[in-house]
Structure 1
Amino acid sequence: MNINIDHIKINYIMEGEGETILMLHGWGSNILPFQPLIKHLSSYYKVYALDMPGFGQSNEPSAAWTVDDYVEFIIKFVQEMKITSAILIGHSFGGECIIKLASHKTLPFQINKIILMGSAGIRRPKTLKQKFKICTYKCGKWFLKRKLIQFLYPDALENFQSKSGSADYRAASPLMRQSFVKVVNEILDESYFTNIKPSTLLIWGENDTATPLIDGQYMEKTISDAGLVTIKNAGHYVFLDQAFTVHKVIDSFLNIKE
């Protein structure tokens, strides 16, 4: 299904009946990896999932967005769907949006429970190797932006940028790369986690390298009503790597009885 919000075409699905669950995917992802979990939960709940602006089949925003811009968009989506209360499930960047959403002072709907899977939101100090790589990239970008270089080699800057940075950065369009930089440079201080009041389930793959287990351990300590479940033999996409186990853990948290 499609809906237009602030002149942006948004692709979303709604399956099942009952209490509402809203699912938010990670950066560079979309609805599709959530399909097995949606199928499972829609037997007991009304499940909404959407391709956030710039991902999947949804259009890009007109400008580079910050995390706050995505949070405001999510609020508008919830209002368009006439959702008054919901359980929120977020993976990676979707989890970071939920963390900021939960601290929103004028939230027009109630958050019943929160499930964060390999959530983003914690930025670790950069290593010397990372700092050197960033410095090298900035110097290269500065050089290739010189007018003479752009005249002689018009595609050099784009080729250089497409080969630099993370996989998410390289795969993004020029506009979404700008958004990506804004998002990864934002740091959530401890207050965002201590402000979370709903009961929160943290699910982490023990082999997650994108958002390491130490991040989940930190969230468990700082969120007042949180429990962490570590899943063996699973990475960042824990809900795909060990789907059966993750489904059972979520069932227990939501008191689902088959």
Structure 2
Amino acid sequence: MKIIINNLAVEYEDAGKGPVMLLLHGWMTSLHTFDGVTPLLSGTFRMVRLDLPGFGGSEAPKESWGVGDYVQFVKSFCGKLGIQPDVLVGHSFGGRVILKGVSEGALTAQKLVLIASAGLKTHKSKAKLFLVASKIGKMGLVFLPNGIQERLRRKLYGMAGSTDYLDISSPVMKETFLRSTKEDLADSAQRIQSPTLLIWGRNDIVTPLSDGKRLQALIFGSKLEVIDDAAHFVHEENPEEVADLIKKFILR
């Protein structure tokens, strides 16, 4: 379905009945990242998910956004649909939006579920690698064959944990990525008071398990569940286990 929010056409889906669960996807994905868990939860919850601006079937912003802009957009989306989420679920970048939005009071929910959430400051060595990679990307390395240029850039971004940047074609969204990832939300996490479930794949190299443990320490009373043999897209790799963890956490 399509809806116009702040002059942007937005793709969204709304299924099921019960308490409202709003799901926010990660960077370079879409609402379909939750295709596995949605049917497992829609018998208990009203599942609302959208493509954030610049992703999936939604229009991109006309200028670069920061995390706060996405927070305000999600708030406007909820207002347009006339919903007050009972549960906020965010994967990766979606978790970043939830951390900022809830800590500032712009978004509210009775309970939060953060899946492989982004938001904590990148390790310094990775940050340096990312800067090197982004500069190489801008230089173009015209003195190297195209195939070698591409492999070198991808290798550096991979070492920095940010191949997402390399895959963005829009200059506006590249700047949005840079603005969003610069923000350290550790202080925001400490202000979270809602009961929070953290779900992590043990083999996640994008937002490693160490980030999950740090978030658990920062968010008072939060619970960390680790799924073996899963990585960054743990909810796609193990939808049944993730849905079961969410259901038990919400209904307990």
For this structure pair, what is the TM-score category when the shorter chain's length is used for normalisation? 0.7 to 0.9
Letter of the 2:119 counterpart: G
Deviation at 1:130, TM superposition (A): 5.7
Match of 1:224 among 200, 220, 224: 220
Sort the Cα spacing of 1:231 and 1:175 in 2 relative to 1 into closer, same or farther, 3 A: same
Deviation at 1:163, TM superposition (A): 4.9
Q: 2:40 touches 2:240 (CA, 8 Å); kept in 1?
A: no
Distance in structure 1 (CA, Å) of the matches to 2:31 and 2:137: 36
SS at match of 2:60: coil
Identity of aligned residues (%): 35
Distance in structure 2 (CA, Å) of the matches to 1:254 and 1:18: 12
Equivalent in the alignment of 1:236: 232
SS at match of 2:37: helix
SS at match of 2:89: strand
Deviation at 1:3, TM superposition (A): 0.5
Equivalent in the alignment of 2:115: 117
Equivalent in the alignment of 1:253: 249
Unaligned runs of 5+ in 1: 150-155
Cα shift readout 1:29-51 (whole Å, capped 9, x = no counterpart): 00112012111111111110000
Deviation at 1:75, TM superposition (A): 0.6
Sort the Cα spacing of 1:171 and 1:255 in 2 relative to 1 into closer, same or farther, 3 A: same
Equivalent in the alignment of 1:187: 184
Matched, 1:79 2:79: yes
Deviates further, 23-32 or 236-245: 236-245
Equivalent in the alignment of 2:45: 45
Matched, 1:131 2:128: yes
Sort the Cα spacing of 1:52 and 1:196 in 2 relative to 1 into closer, same or farther, 3 A: same
Match of 2:165 among 165, 169, 172: 169
Distance in structure 2 (CA, Å) of the matches to 1:207 and 1:16: 32
Distance in structure 1 (CA, Å) of the matches to 2:3 and 2:163: 29
Sort the Cα spacing of 1:229 and 1:132 in 2 relative to 1 into closer, same or farther, 3 A: closer
Distance in structure 1 (CA, Å) of the matches to 2:54 and 2:113: 23
How big is the alpha-carbon RMSD for the aligned residues of Structure 1 and Structure 2?
A: 2.4
Letter of the 1:223 counterpart: I
Unaligned runs of 5+ in 2: none
Equivalent in the alignment of 1:25: 25
Cα shift readout 1:163-196 (whole Å, capped 9, x = no counterpart): 564421122122111111111111123x211211
Equivalent in the alignment of 1:152: none
Paired residues, what number?
239
Deviation at 1:85, TM superposition (A): 3.8
Higher relative contact order by CA 8 Å / sep ≥ 6: 1 or 2?
2
Sort the Cα spacing of 1:133 and 1:199 in 2 relative to 1 into closer, same or farther, 3 A: closer
Sort the Cα spacing of 1:246 and 1:132 in 2 relative to 1 into closer, same or farther, 3 A: closer
Sort the Cα spacing of 1:246 and 1:140 in 2 relative to 1 into closer, same or farther, 3 A: closer
Distance in structure 2 (CA, Å) of the matches to 1:54 and 1:123: 23
**Within 5 A, what are the aligned runs for 1:52-67?**
52-67=52-67
Cα shift readout 1:118-156 (whole Å, capped 9, x = no counterpart): 0000123321x7626634753773x67xxxx9xxxxxx9
Q: 2:136 touches 2:153 (CA, 8 Å); kept in 1?
A: no
Deviates further, 170-179 or 9-18: 170-179
